[in-house]
Structure 1
Amino acid sequence: MSSGSTPPPYEVDECRGVLRVYSDGSVVRSSKPSFDVPVHDDGSVLWKDVEFDPAHGLSLRLYKPAARSPASAKLPVLFYIHGGGFCIGSRGWPNCQNYCFRLASELRAVVVSPDYRLAPENRLPAAIEDGFAAVKWLQAQAESEEPDEWLSRVADYGNVFVSGDSAGGNIAHNLAVRLGARSPELGPVRIRGYVLLAPFFGGTVRSKSEAEGPKDAFLNWELIDRFWRLSIPIGETRDHPLVNPFGPSSPSLEGVDLDPILVVVGGSDLLKDRVEEYATRLKNWRKKIEYVEFEGLQHGFFTIDPNSKHSNELMLIIKRFLAQNSS
């Protein structure tokens, strides 16, 4: 190689074997998910894919129980927004699909699992905007004279809940703030509550659980740092309002009217302190917050082992939350 030639690009970032970023800015994504588990599709839940944002090529996956009792009963709608640090993940990953099967079956609900644009190709706020586009798609279905009958025959548009796992939990929080209590701009769709499963929040000052958490944690500090570095807008810090709800430039949430929020985290999750602070602050401002901590469990325990004792307990908690806040 001559002294004047350009060296080949080299890898500068890698996320769970499915995302690789190179020195020249190029990005390579693997078609294989980072969770190599079988899909447990026993036919008890029906599903299909629908494009909700043609401009960005985004689709969502709909799920509903195959059998309903009574057959004429309408079912609540639950959005499930996947995690992945805003950088990886998909509605089509088997861990996401298996959990949506359980949600639809156990909760007797229609589950809507949308994709969103990923970083670093699409940094924040792209993912938040796509979450908003997904709920607006549901509104369009509710208002349409020619709706998707697969959905409209069973969906109760007056009983909608938004849940999210990790980065999806962050998206759910930002939707709760944007839409406000009773989601007036979505009528006839009415969001009744939000379920934040280990929401992915950050900040420039490390929390105690981030600083002292185990290096071999499923979501360790190195990976947290990488996700934020790749997803935060260029030139911004982890105190960006979409990242840190209580950062120095974040609008105060004290005066914001919010729908009920269920906040869940594992006691050994490096995000635990941030999630607990989030719930505590909102509760002190008299928001309708329920905080549940699973002692000793790590990030994403409910999708990593969806049939564990603790995952079953969480499912019952979510079921109760939906029942208490439905019309």
Structure 2
Amino acid sequence: MDSSNQEIAYDFSPFFIVYKDSRVVQLKGNVTVPPSLDPKTNVESKDIVYLNTENIDLSARVYIPESTHQNKKLPLLVYFHGGCFCMESAFSPTYHNYLNSLVAEAGVIAVSVEYRQAPENPVPCPHNDSWTALKWVTSHFNGQGPEDWLNRHADFERVFLAGDSAGANIAHHMGIKHGLEKLESSFINVTGIILCQPYFLGEEAVGDEITNDHHKNLREKLQGLWRFTCPSSTSGCDDPWINPAFDSNLVSLGCNKVLVFVAEKDFLRARGLYYTEKLKESGWRGDVQIVESKGEDHIFHLINPTSETAEAMLKRIVSFINKD
């Protein structure tokens, strides 16, 4: 092989490497699993296509508890996976297993969204795809959509948006867009948004980004990654896509309540705390709650979902969804 083909242009390990011949090699999140009836949770899943054009074919995975009665309505959870907008998949073993557990514990019907990713499809493409998926999901509000599970079981008066890391960023922006544009007018009620260790950044350091040298190094790496995944931005890490504090529409977040999870050792902890403060200061009239997991790091609940802290986090999400 020509040695020039092995020359690295950008090294964003452990996420991906870009070579000078424009090849992009993903280092994580490449393995996928099919939908199934999960024997541990008795949750059934299937894949649906939410966008099909000549050049684009995008899918999502729908989950439902097997014990659901024929016409019983369940809260609807729309989930967006993480991965810095450039890796992972709604169909990976990590997310498939997590959604099975979450659906079983919360007693919800869930849609886990697959979206196109950077660098081939830079931000805001992941957000645009997610909005397309969300509009497809909520088009079932009158029971006349193409997916029978959603027609029969989704309660569109109890809709929740959720995600981890970059997926939490997307969930936040879906809430903003709903607040501005409204999904199916008054027929859809986005009750709450769940943000698990959200992926937000900023040009100026906040909190322990200032004092923690390890976090400072990670922050610099993520700033470089952000500029690579959103090359059209003219404001760097103060772009509203990555820094909600610079979004004049923050007050328009279209839900009644928000639950933010941060982890004590996570380099994004300071940003989660900062987001909560700015949301309160914006004039938004909902209720925002923050939960910190002591001794844990980024996406610990996906890496070790059976740990005591991860199980406590899952119970907190279930309570948030099912509390009147």
Return the TM-score normalized by structure 1.
0.85
Aligned equivalent of 2:222:
224
User: How many residues were matched structurally?
Assistant: 315
Aligned equivalent of 1:57:
57
Cα offset, 1:71, TM superposition: 5.0
Aligned equivalent of 2:159:
160
Give the Cα separation in 2 of the matches to 1:276 and 1:46.
36
Aligned equivalent of 2:244:
245
CA gap of 1:84–1:223, structure 2 versus 1, over 3 A, is: farther
Cα offset, 1:53, TM superposition: 1.5
Cα offset, 1:230, TM superposition: 2.2
Cα offset, 1:112, TM superposition: 0.6
Letter in 2 for 1:297: E
Cα offset, 1:27, TM superposition: 2.1
CA gap of 1:84–1:213, structure 2 versus 1, over 3 A, is: farther
- The reply to whether residue 26 of structure 1 matches residue 23 of structure 2 is yes
**2:164/2:299 contact within 8 Å kept:** yes
Where 1:141 maps in the other structure, the secondary structure is: coil
**1:87/1:230 contact within 8 Å kept:** no
CA gap of 1:83–1:223, structure 2 versus 1, over 3 A, is: farther
Which residues in structure 2 correspond to 1:1-327 (within 5 Å)? 7-8=4-5, 10-15=7-12, 19-29=16-26, 33=30, 41-42=38-39, 44-55=42-53, 56-68=56-68, 72-143=71-142, 145=144, 147-180=146-179, 183=182, 185-213=184-212, 215=214, 220-221=218-219, 224-236=222-234, 237-247=236-246, 250-251=247-248, 253-254=250-251, 258-284=255-281, 285=283, 286-325=285-324
Where 1:113 maps in the other structure, the secondary structure is: strand
Cα offset, 1:309, TM superposition: 1.0
**1:180/1:259 contact within 8 Å kept:** no
Where 1:281 maps in the other structure, the secondary structure is: helix
Cα offset, 1:289, TM superposition: 0.6
**1:35/1:94 contact within 8 Å kept:** yes
Letter in 2 for 1:309: E
Give the Cα separation in 2 of the matches to 1:40 and 1:14.
39
CA gap of 1:204–1:322, structure 2 versus 1, over 3 A, is: same
Give the Cα separation in 2 of the matches to 1:232 and 1:243.
10
Give the Cα separation in 2 of the matches to 1:281 and 1:231.
25
Unaligned runs of 5+ in 1: none
Letter in 2 for 1:233: P
CA gap of 1:142–1:16, structure 2 versus 1, over 3 A, is: farther
Cα offset, 1:188, TM superposition: 2.8
Give the Cα separation in 1 of the matches to 2:123 and 2:173.
12
CA offsets per residue over residues 21-61 of structure 1, 9 Å max, x none?
A: 1123332346963799xx99326110011111113321100
Give the Cα separation in 1 of the matches to 2:115 and 2:294.
31
CA gap of 1:186–1:254, structure 2 versus 1, over 3 A, is: closer
Where 1:238 maps in the other structure, the secondary structure is: helix
**2:193/2:255 contact within 8 Å kept:** no
Return the TM-score normalized by structure 2.
0.86
CA offsets per residue over residues 135-186 of structure 1, 9 Å max, x none?
A: 1011223346353223322222221100011001001111111111894545
CA gap of 1:133–1:184, structure 2 versus 1, over 3 A, is: closer
CA gap of 1:256–1:93, structure 2 versus 1, over 3 A, is: closer
Cα offset, 1:220, TM superposition: 4.0
Letter in 1 for 2:110: V
CA gap of 1:47–1:223, structure 2 versus 1, over 3 A, is: farther
Cα offset, 1:253, TM superposition: 2.6
**CA RMSD for the aligned pairs?**
3.1
Cα offset, 1:315, TM superposition: 1.4
Letter in 2 for 1:178: K
